[in-house]
Amino acid sequence: MNIPIYQADAFTDTLFGGNPAAVCPLAEWLPDATMQKIALENNLAETAFFVKTDKGYLLRWFTPEYEIDLCGHATLATAHILFTQLGYSDDTIHFETMKAGVLIVTRNGDKYTLDFPSRPPQVAEIPAGLTEALGMPEPKEFLRSRDFMLVYDNEDDILNCKPDFAALGKFDVVGIIITSPGKEVDFVSRFFAPSAGIPEDPVTGSAHCNLIPYWADKLGKNELHAYQQSARKGELWCELKGDRVLMSGKAVTYLKGEIFI
């Protein structure tokens, strides 16, 4: 069996920037174990698999460790491959997912806009040992949704964070977000998910489902500009619309080929 595979860098207009994701078009689903092995072999934060339907596409995402409930950058990468490599001619794509409902991606010039669920984080008690594992001072606020979220006042704290990934991986949570107001943009963030096989994720769309409602409330505006301050760096144009968040970004294709199984 030969399976097409593409790889695109998402939330960037520069090759080797943003967040790389693999994208595999399928005629029908492979066994879950096979898709998991492909994701592990790819050794990227996410590998997306999709199957065409009468209404759009079914979409699933796998980290090297397990299937994830929601992923932004691999959804953007999948849309980019459909638009630029696979001849998709409309301006809107509907993706049906297993746990996040229907996700819509719209092409707007050189950007793609993701329509995702808003997941406002709630104030919680910070777990013992978390700041020590991050190598960070106590945060201004600690909140959680699917992920932990630590809020700071200074972007330098975000930039200077050097986590102990082995220690972070012991916390029973998908990911850990650190965030602050930005010097050049409305807010900045970083995202760590060692328990999912991703020490630091370069750009994380799902984390912005938490970040956008939080910063929209704190800054008193619904349209926001954000950087994810990883080594590869990502740029997002964000908007809060009721119980949905819109995230716009760019993407570039890195490779196309075949998997032989």
Per-residue pLDDT of the chain (261 residues; tens, 9 = 90+): 999 999 999 999 999 999 999 999 999 999 999 999 999 999 999 999 999 999 899 999 999 999 999 999 999 999 999 999 999 999 999 999 999 999 999 999 999 999 999 999 999 999 999 999 999 999 999 999 999 999 999 999 999 999 999 999 999 999 999 999 999 999 999 999 999 999 999 999 999 999 999 999 999 999 999 999 999 999 999 999 999 999 999 999 999 999 999
CB-based contact 183:155 (threshold 8 Å): yes
Say what the pLDDT of residue 73 is.
97
Say what the pLDDT of residue 97 is.
97
Marked catalytic residue, from 46, 155, 200, 235: 46
Model confidence, pTM: 0.94
What tokens appear for 258 in the block?
């075949």
Cα separation, 209 vs 230, whole angstroms = 18
User: Is 46 tagged catalytic?
Assistant: yes
- Kindly list the structural domains of the chain, giving each domain's residue range(s) and its CATH number in brackets, ordered by start: 2-118+248-260 (3.10.310.10), 122-242 (3.10.310.10)
CB-based contact 56:95 (threshold 8 Å): yes
Say what the pLDDT of residue 24 is.
98
Q: HEC states along the chain?
A: CEEEEEEEEECCCCCCCCEEEEEEEECCCCCHHHHHHHHHHHCCCEEEEEEECCCCEEEEEECCCCEECCCCHHHHHHHHHHHHCCCCCCCEEEEECCCCCEEEEEEECCEEEEEEECCCCEECCCCCCHHHHHCCCCCCEEEECCCEEEECCCHHHHHCCCCCHHHHCCCCCCCEEEEEECCCCCEEEEEEEHHHCEEEECCCHHHHHHHHHHHHHHHCCCEEEEEECCCCCEEEEEEEECCEEEEEECEEEEEEEEEEC
